[in-house]
Structure 1
Amino acid sequence: MDPIRPFRWDLIRPDQLGSMLDDVEVWELFFLDDLIRCAARVLGQCGDGDLYFVGRSVDSLFDVLSGALADTGWSSRLHPLPLSLFGVDGQSVTAGELRQLRTNLAAEGLTPGELMRGRPTVFVDLVYQGSTFENLYGVLRRWIDDEHAQWDVIRRQLRFVGITSRTKTSPNTWRWHQHAEFATDLPASAIRNVSLDPRLWSYFGDYQHKTAASFRRTRWADPEVADPRRDERTRMALAEAVKIVAAARTPKVRRKLAELLTREPAISERWLRELQVSLRR
């Protein structure tokens, strides 16, 4: 069984796009400042791990970080993870679907054996009630048990960073991780949240055009997802993504990101200070 992966354009070296975007107009990146702040918070919460950006909702977050970190040692730590496991669509997976999903995840470096080694594995996604994280955790945990991998080691290597819609904080505020059963299996440090302006959270999660179709279970084994899309909405999404990456590669944005990292508690740790220095070069 071969892995199936949706096509993704290389936006760091966008020469392959040719004239595809020549007639596409892109709005100003009204969300860029908030996106940079969110990116800094995610880096500060990642525990020096490898980051996997789950699904399409965090595409722009991946784009801004891949641009800003392109010339650093962290460029190889950022991984888009095309996968939709939202809600009931991610439950009751058939045996055939599970085999294909495991094959796809293995191609992304997410086998139980690989989860035991090296740096922590950090999953990042927009979170409403946490069903995607819950379902992804269930898939991984079942696989770990089937492979008789060392769960006591892996549980300390997993981290989930949820991008939440910002609300007023109070003792009665509903927090997704307090209702997620899988969270009780992990150390408290494994669950982290980063809040985002609710309008931008909704834009990225509900309204933003995307460069690829949702990679739902009905498409996990579909080889056609490896073909690039060139329809109007895809071109609009691609033009915006190219603009985000280009902005993120500028000294201005890199310095801003480095400045924001100073506010992170983890700046006391060597790995984040070294990353900050590399952003200022």
Structure 2
Amino acid sequence: MPEPNLPFRWDVEHDRLGSLVEPADPERSYVEALTECAAKVLARGGDRDLYFVGRSPDSVYDLLRGVLADTGHRDRVHRLPLSLYGYDGQGLSRAEQAQLRANLTAQGVTPGRLAGGGRAVVFCDLVSHGSTFENLHRELRSWIGDDGADWNRIRGRIGYLGIVMRGKTSPNTWRWQQHAPWVGELPPRAVRNVSVPGWLWGYLGNFQPKTEPSFRRARWADPEVARPRHDERTRAALSGAVALFERARTPEVRAAFRAVLTAEPTFREPWLRTLAHDIRS
């Protein structure tokens, strides 16, 4: 297996960023909508490790890092830098597949880890038609088969959580998971969604400045991705991420976050009630 190769991203909590960042003030409506989304993602993800796939959900990750910073849940939230969108995530060569597996291993995602006795895993991403999840699931299934890991055990220990654009609710509403045959390999409710306003989905998925370029297959083995970037757009993205993390640590956001948690059906579960208490404290 080749050496892992992962894109560089500053740690908004621990790195000394100095002049790299400038003061930023996220809009109130943006923080409120993102707080609601992040709380629902956490609640619906269950008592699991939460992996955010790609760059689109970075702000959800940063907000959760801030809210959970002083709790025992802080080590449950991870980034999974990876792009497997659409046709670009299909037909991997053996070298690309080997590099993908090395990169996933470095991030704690392996067949052995998925089958092990630790916490189960849920993958989260913005979803339109679900191609990223489909491609990721196919690659994981292939790897599990090659390693001879116990799929019957693993299938109950992985889940997929889509952040989708809010629309009308009716029996005829198009839902991506109902048109994805691979979902049938998993137990009921292993695939769930959180809906957000269209403007928020569009901003996170299409327009928001990001701290690194998309980590597509052509870049998986490129050593340049591990080098810090200092261009204006990257610094603007980093400034926004730091500001969001700091805002998430305020009593106002933590109270709003907890209020969303208490309204979720999963709030009856002991782990979530304990977490809500820790956030309040």
TM-score where L is the length of structure 2: 0.97
SS in 2 for 1:73: coil
The one-letter amino acid paired with 1:82 is P
Alignment of 1:1-281 (within 5 A): 1-14=2-15, 16-22=16-22, 28=27, 30-117=29-116, 118-281=118-281
Equivalent residues of 1:53, 1:62 under 8 A apart: yes
Q: Residues of 1 paired with 2:254 and 2:145: CA distance?
A: 42
Deviation per CA, 1:155-204, whole angstroms, max 9, x where unpaired?
A: 00011000000000111111000011110000112000000000110000
Identity %: 54
Q: Residues of 2 paired with 1:48 and 1:197: CA distance?
A: 26
The one-letter amino acid paired with 1:36 is T
Deviation per CA, 1:231-274, whole angstroms, max 9, x where unpaired?
A: 11111111111110000011221122112111111111100001
SS in 1 for 2:20: coil
Q: 1:95 to 1:29 in 2, by over 3 A?
A: farther
How far is the alpha carbon of 1:20 from its aligned partner? Answer: 1.6
How far is the alpha carbon of 1:223 from its aligned partner? Answer: 1.1
SS in 2 for 1:233: helix
How far is the alpha carbon of 1:28 from its aligned partner? Answer: 3.0
Structure 2: 5+ residue runs without aligned partners?
none
SS in 2 for 1:161: strand
How far is the alpha carbon of 1:30 from its aligned partner? Answer: 3.7
SS in 1 for 2:19: coil
Structure 1: 5+ residue runs without aligned partners?
none
Q: Residues of 2 paired with 1:184 and 1:67: CA distance?
A: 35
Q: Residues of 1 paired with 2:242 and 2:10: CA distance?
A: 10
Q: Residues of 2 paired with 1:223 and 1:2: CA distance?
A: 11
How far is the alpha carbon of 1:29 from its aligned partner? Answer: 5.0
How far is the alpha carbon of 1:21 from its aligned partner? Answer: 2.1
Q: Residues of 2 paired with 1:29 and 1:54: CA distance?
A: 26
Equivalent residues of 1:164, 1:196 under 8 A apart: yes
Equivalent residues of 1:50, 1:120 under 8 A apart: yes
Deviating beyond 4 angstroms after TM superposition, the runs of 4 or more aligned structure 1 residues are: 24-27
Deviation per CA, 1:75-131, whole angstroms, max 9, x where unpaired?
A: 111100000000000000000000000000011111100001211101000000000
Equivalent residues of 2:24, 2:243 under 8 A apart: no
How far is the alpha carbon of 1:25 from its aligned partner? Answer: 5.5
Q: Residues of 2 paired with 1:82 and 1:253: CA distance?
A: 26
Q: Residues of 1 paired with 2:34 and 2:24: CA distance?
A: 21
Q: Residues of 1 paired with 2:90 and 2:171: CA distance?
A: 31
Q: Residues of 2 paired with 1:220 and 1:232: CA distance?
A: 24
SS in 2 for 1:169: coil
Q: Residues of 2 paired with 1:64 and 1:21: CA distance?
A: 17
SS in 2 for 1:19: helix
Q: Residues of 1 paired with 2:151 and 2:6: CA distance?
A: 27
The one-letter amino acid paired with 2:123 is F
SS in 1 for 2:206: helix
SS in 2 for 1:31: helix
The one-letter amino acid paired with 1:112 is P
TM-score where L is the length of structure 1: 0.97
Equivalent residues of 2:111, 2:147 under 8 A apart: yes
Q: 1:87 to 1:25 in 2, by over 3 A?
A: same
Q: Residues of 2 paired with 1:131 and 1:21: CA distance?
A: 34
Equivalent residues of 2:26, 2:244 under 8 A apart: no
Q: Residues of 2 paired with 1:186 and 1:248: CA distance?
A: 34
